[in-house]
Structure 1
């Protein structure tokens, strides 16, 4: 076997692992243990916001993903900031309720956006000879601009237009909940958004940080995008509109889906401040590093790829609260 063929097979296997594990049935439903009182919740179908929108049924739940929306009930506790969470490949919008409720308890309005997450990006580009393939796929998922034949997403079903329409809908439908803060006219006010994404969502957040000046960008278990030579994808080196001092990476040392060395190389390409620093048994600010790791095991199974955010396997303290909650605060909810 030639070295080039061996590399292609390795990258193809890496992509397949992302596709299989990131959409495992165990990550479909969520188990909430912490407090939800004082938080208003809305589960909103994409067609409620835009009757022409298309969201295929989730292959595990059998139902299209919905927008998962939270708002602090008491106006005096609101920080006038929005926490945007972007899930990984194939999972439902309710898999990481704990982190969204954590944000809402800290005064953030919060949204887990329903978007086109049917396929993982890496498998789509695994056999492509175009080193810019992952950027084109992600850009089309975000904007709906036709950049690649590998996905077909119109602007009305792209992530950014959906978020904009959702915020306009929320401002109109629930005017007392403060959603208008996050719009300039009918356009998104990105400067008030703290965005976090897991796996496929991590890459989308990293690209959003290239496109918009946000309050925070948090990359969890990603970015997986590499060239045929195994190097970080070219788009990761692009200039950032969200300053790197407001961007963070977080990964698990035992992650076999997006191995931590792959994630770290992507963070280095973006320009995040190191060195890689473990969070376990330590308190913020973790020596000022923006590249963080954990070795805490999931409560069940061996899915280290989702252990930092998946409600079903989150490591928890004696009171049931997630052990990574102080890390979430540092990363996402300053």
Structure 2
């Protein structure tokens, strides 16, 4: 009886297992196809549900992947995303302060992409082309899609394994065409030569890669494209890191390649350069003016004519040069560099007011004329004689010429005319605080520039130049001050802002309770705590990078064509400040 019971239980289990297998295993091609279709549909339903949770930018990226990954990689990508897994084609949300790197290549580069991304985290935005890029022929067809609309700082690319049967002349010619297209982005190009292939009859030939790497090396030398020699890097460890009879590598091999690529890229991502040079060293025409205490060194020989410059080559350049017309401010310079701006602080003779009789300065035009002569070195005032070589314009020009020659990494050449005889003023941002902001505004009235950023200014409360016709459009002037600054409480700044026409671009905005872009206003104020000190209030707006970064970024980079709604003149601002 016991034996019979056991037999019955075993038989029932066998029948149940057979029934389950009958339900899951297809018995013919049609059933297999139907089952596969159901699985594909189920995966796609889950994937589309996941896509629906994404931001519009992420959804747009997934749409590109759906179009480009093809029948092999797209299902893999979908399964990974549904499972919550990361992969080489993850959407990259750019940090705007970091350079953008694009990796282009086949499945070997796909396999090391995530390692490159993790190794360069916080140093670069590492993207991957939305495809297993294949041969050069595919590159010619798809390069525009791979490049997209963004600006690239570095493109690290490879074609080789899928070109192992391409004629060498065709391979070289296509590489030339691809390089020309990629160079059009302005990015630095780096060619990763092809990793070794094993000899597998009918499939791989080790010689094919060696030949194509040699052909590619000739093309890169001709086009002045740097080569990342991955072939040499991985060759000593092939037995350990490459899969048998395969072009691909083990997980450890992929990590090794990714770290090798990241190590190659990192020093090419750039850095912030804090540069300096003495006027007396780089400009033989420069003169000292002891009468206004403008000298190249003090009594102990300490330099007093040091000029400063900054550029951060890790950040995509905005093609603008800030000329800072006041004492060097390291925090501010670090910030403007992080925005993709170049910056210089020229040392020029600017203390002429102290030698002019007060009565002569009270005409309503005299101070502005002296400022303009100090800025340009041109004859604008009968009260002073400032040599052209000692004006801010000439000092700035000589400094940029010196930087272009001595620091080519910074691409300072872009701010010079073709014959290097002048600055390209449409690329210049004039900026300063107090005296410097006032001179910047006066100078911009005379010389058209890209922008004017005025901290705690402009002053010249008895002058009329603020209302002169301006070479620089009024929407390019930006001001920022503290409300306890004596220049604000005395109506100096509001008067200047009004005369400059800034009310046309929005009301005065307090940055303490308003987020950027501050209603697109050109007139910003703060009432942050300064212990009721007007002196602290005067300088606080250029002190504290963490506190003011969002404001500084707005002042220096907000699109000048985006403006606020015009408002009436401020009735509480006294326009006539002459003593009655």
Cα distance, 1:179 vs. partner? 0.5
Alpha carbons of structure 1 residues 299 and 71: separation in structure 2 relative to 1, 3 Å = farther
3-state DSSP class of the match of 1:303?
A: helix
Kept after mapping to 2: 8 A contact 1:279/1:327: yes
Aligned positions of 1:164-313 closer than 5 A: 164-185=397-418, 186=420, 187-227=422-462, 233-257=463-487, 259=489, 261-273=491-503, 274-298=506-530, 302-309=535-542
Query: Per-residue CA shift, 1:199-243, capped at 9, x if unaligned?
Result: 11111111222122222111111121133xxxxx22111112221
1:33 corresponds to which residue?
A: none
Cα distance, 1:126 vs. partner? 4.0
Q: 2:374 & 2:429 partners in 1: Cα distance?
A: 19
**Greater Rg, structure 1 or structure 2?**
2
Whether 2:323 is the aligned partner of 1:84: answer: yes
Cα distance, 1:330 vs. partner? 0.4
Higher relative contact order (CA 8 A, sep 6+): 1
Whether 2:302 is the aligned partner of 1:67: answer: no
Aligned positions of 1:309-324 closer than 5 A: 309=542, 314=543, 316=544, 321-324=545-548
Q: 1:269 & 1:257 partners in 2: Cα distance?
A: 15
Aligned positions of 1:105-120 closer than 5 A: 105-118=338-351
Alpha carbons of structure 1 residues 259 and 124: separation in structure 2 relative to 1, 3 Å = farther
Kept after mapping to 1: 8 A contact 2:280/2:305: no
The gaps in structure 1 that reach 5 residues or longer are 1-36, 88-92, 228-232
Higher helix share: 2
The gaps in structure 2 that reach 5 residues or longer are 1-269, 289-293, 559-580
Q: 1:300 & 1:194 partners in 2: Cα distance?
A: 32
Q: 1:253 & 1:291 partners in 2: Cα distance?
A: 12
2:97 corresponds to which residue?
A: none
2:551 corresponds to which residue?
A: 327
Alpha carbons of structure 1 residues 253 and 68: separation in structure 2 relative to 1, 3 Å = same
Kept after mapping to 2: 8 A contact 1:103/1:333: no
Kept after mapping to 2: 8 A contact 1:191/1:213: yes
Q: 1:212 & 1:328 partners in 2: Cα distance?
A: 23
Cα distance, 1:134 vs. partner? 1.0
Kept after mapping to 1: 8 A contact 2:484/2:532: no
3-state DSSP class of the match of 2:432?
A: strand
Alignment coverage as a number of residue pairs? 276
Q: 2:338 & 2:357 partners in 1: Cα distance?
A: 39
Judge which range, 154-163 or 285-294, deviates more: 285-294
Query: Per-residue CA shift, 1:300-323, capped at 9, x if unaligned?
Result: 9642111111xxxx3x5xxxx431
Alpha carbons of structure 1 residues 158 and 278: separation in structure 2 relative to 1, 3 Å = same
Q: 2:551 & 2:499 partners in 1: Cα distance?
A: 23
Kept after mapping to 1: 8 A contact 2:487/2:493: no
Return the match for 2:334 from 70, 91, 101.
101
3-state DSSP class of the match of 2:524?
A: strand
Q: 1:292 & 1:46 partners in 2: Cα distance?
A: 35
